[in-house]
Amino acid sequence: MNLFDHDLRRVAQLAAPLDDPRMNVSANRRLVAAGDEHQIVVLDHDGAVRWRSRWDRLGGRAGTDFHLDGDHILWIRLADTEELVAVHGASGAEIHRTPLPGPEAAWFLHSPVGVWTGMTLLDPYQSRAMLIRLDAERIVSRPLAGGDLAGFSPAGGRYLTQTLDGFLSVRDVASDAVITARHLEDLPGTPSRVEGCRHVDRAVFLSEELILTAINTEDLPDDAEGHLLLSALSLRCRSQVRYPHHHGAGAVHPSYQPGRWLTGHHEDDQLRLWQLGARLDDEPMPGQLALL
């Protein structure tokens, strides 16, 4: 198991702490949590095991979703008991748990300001997005509007949502007020080759001004690229991202550094880190920083 920094430089190589190679992993600046069908293990960056627990001891089962936040709190969504549990990441001691009914799968998102953690309970028909945090060692939550939570702006003051049927919105974190909202079919400036697309695979903030949107490639012609740069203030299409090699797009992931993003593609099994250049146009992007 490899641990990389934000420049995709390997900073540690850890022995896999689980027997099943199919595992979920979450990490912060101090700890790494890994979970498979049977248990969860938390390690230091030097590979020393802090603690481990079977899921059934916590009330969960295979497929339980979890997230380590910047304050070393391990958030665990137990689908079986429909609960949210907060655990001390370093010790494994349970802090608090609270009922959390709704869809089974959970998606956690890092918040740049560190006060809240973002979470969406994923379901095509009844997704629920919220902010979660601890207050006096009690879990508190705040619902968010607009659909699935897709990301936060680098300064943390805005959040981005998307829906399965193609709506995007940018909202104020403090008030939930809509800054801009549009359907994918109605984005001004969209290139003609991708007009009429209705589904967004992923959308992430690249900077305070720009959002990167990955369109579902099933909607596109075979030779069309599926990534668009949008204005974060109006959702106007600023540019179509064209990568310098075939199948360079793939799944999009935030890098948590302004102007950067990660792509991964199952066909070439590679992870790439990209840097937004100073020029914003339709020329091939020269910003690949690392290729593993």
The residue type found at 186 is D
Instruction: Tell me the per-residue pLDDT of 85-113, one tens digit each, with 9 for 90 and over.
Output: 999 999 999 999 999 998 888 999 988 88
Q: Which strand (E) or helix (H) includes residue 133?
A: strand 128-135
Instruction: Tell me the per-residue pLDDT of 243-257, one tens digit each, with 9 for 90 and over.
Output: 776 554 567 888 878
- 176-181: long-range contacts, CB 8 A cutoff, minimum separation 24: 176/144, 176/145, 178/146, 179/233, 180/232, 180/233, 180/234, 180/235, 181/146, 181/235
Instruction: Tell me the per-residue pLDDT of 139-159, one tens digit each, with 9 for 90 and over.
Output: 999 999 998 999 999 999 999
pTM, to two decimals:
0.88
Output the pLDDT for position 159: 96
Contact 32, 25 (CB under 8 A): yes
Confidence band, pLDDT 50/70/90 cuts, at residue 283: very low
**What is the average pLDDT across 65-93?**
94
**What is the average pLDDT across 4-24?**
86
